[in-house]
Amino acid sequence: MTNEYTAQQIQSIVSEVLEAADENGVLPIVQLGHPVLRQRATAYKAQLPAQMLEELLEAMRQTMYDAPGVGLAAPQVGIPLQIAVLEDLYLIPEASALEREREPLEYFEIFNPTYVASSTRQAEFFEGCLSFDGFQGVVTRPADISASFDDRTGKQHTRSFSGWQARIVQHETDHLFGTVYVDKVETRSLINESELWRHDALDLPTARRVLNF
């Protein structure tokens, strides 16, 4: 489902969202069940004045850091626009990084993104979502993708991503089309994060044995 919004309506929504920020500039994150998470977001076509766009991107970035997360899409803060911010510079154990094929991802923004698989490789791993707080589940995704997107100036880019970076880009892009990771999850793998950490973050072979999926 797609709802079309005028620039005036978009600006009104963004103003209301920004006004809800706390003293640190952190925005409330909407949770699964909020209708904005199930809509195809409106393509960004410069509906926002430059200063409002700057304020929104900064607020989204701070909200991502505060959560903490490695990406945040505009619908997750109640804004039906095809915008997301991404960054993954957290320190994690080397063994976990190898299992995930994780390389650090510097901060960047994507507007109106799409992606396609660029190889036949598939990767499966636990995935979580700030809008489905407290749970993770195993999702199988293309391990290598080519992503096309605009930057905040409207300039078009195409970049290749692999491993964990590819997963982050896919997850955030999916949000902009009304898809949440639970739509793709292996349902028997769903686990509350308290249980995940109790089992020492579960590698996949152990998870399959413990959770019987």
Q: Is residue 45 part of a domain?
A: yes
Query: Tokens standing for 205?
Result: 């072979």
Q: What is the pTM of this model?
A: 0.94
Asked whether residue 168 is assigned to any structural domain, the reply reads: yes
Catalogue the active-site residues. Answer: 172
- Supply the DSSP string of 110-179, one letter for each residue: EEEEEEEESSS-EEEEEEE-TTSTTEEEEEEEESEEEEEEE-TTS-EEEEEEEHHHHHHHHHHHHHTTT-
- Residue 34 inside a domain? The answer is yes
Question: In which residue are the tokens 């590698």 written?
Answer: 203
pLDDT at 13: 98
The pLDDT, as a whole number, for residue 207 is 81
Domain with residue 42: its CATH number is 3.90.45.10
- Backbone torsions φ then ψ of 49, nearest 5 degrees: -60, 155
> What pLDDT is attached to residue 201?
62
Is 140 part of a structural domain of the chain? yes
Mean pLDDT, consecutive 10-residue stretches, the chain (213 aa), reads 85 98 97 97 97 98 98 98 98 88 97 98 96 96 98 97 98 98 96 80 78 85
The pLDDT value recorded for residue 205 is 83
User: Does residue 92 sit within a domain?
Assistant: yes
Q: CA torsion angle for 54, 38, 31, 28 (degrees, to 10)?
A: 20
pLDDT, tens digit (0-9, with 9 covering 90-100), for 62-110: 999 999 999 999 999 999 999 999 999 999 889 889 989 999 999 999 9
Whether 110 is covered by a domain: the verdict is yes
Domain that holds residue 76: 7-211
Q: What is the pLDDT of residue 203?
A: 76
Q: Are 139 and 120 in contact (CB under 8 A)?
A: no
| Number of domains, the chain | 1
Q: Is residue 193 part of a domain?
A: yes
Q: How far apart are CA 10 and CA 122, in angstroms?
A: 37
1 located within any domain: no
